[in-house]
Structure 1
Amino acid sequence: MALSKAILKGSLLAIFQEMSTNNDQQNSIETLAEKLSGVIFDFVKTAEVVAGQGVATTGTAAAQTGKTTTNGTII
């Protein structure tokens, strides 16, 4: 699935709305940080890297080593 700014925005809005009714000021910064980090982490995990990066290899047919020769693209 490609990254969706609208989904991230909706998730963040839900957190901010929930936090606006949180009366526990002592715990609110910790709670906000926990919720934000979870939403952002989940958002980043939805990224896909386009397949088909160029690869340069060395060695024999039995023992190949190498690395990609082009940058990946996150969609």
Structure 2
Amino acid sequence: MTVTRSRYGSLGSLRVPALVIHGTADTFLPVEHARRLVELIPNAQPLWLDGVGHQFPYPGLPTITRAIVSHLDRTL
């Protein structure tokens, strides 16, 4: 298993629009990690998937796709 250094310290320098999508019931990578990303990335927007774990494809994928496209439309 490879472990890398934390990149949290670098996230504040990002100058790109970020949409953080994460399931609130993810036990593999807990939602607290995603919440931290939203705190650290300037102007990051969260999209929390209530009750969703670490799964793909997500059953509500059309909704997620619309959110991603909308995010891209606002940033281009």
- Name the TM-score class by shorter chain: 0.3 to 0.5
TM-score by length of 1: 0.35
TM-score, L = length of structure 2: 0.35
Q: Compare CA radii of gyration and give the structure with the larger one.
A: 1
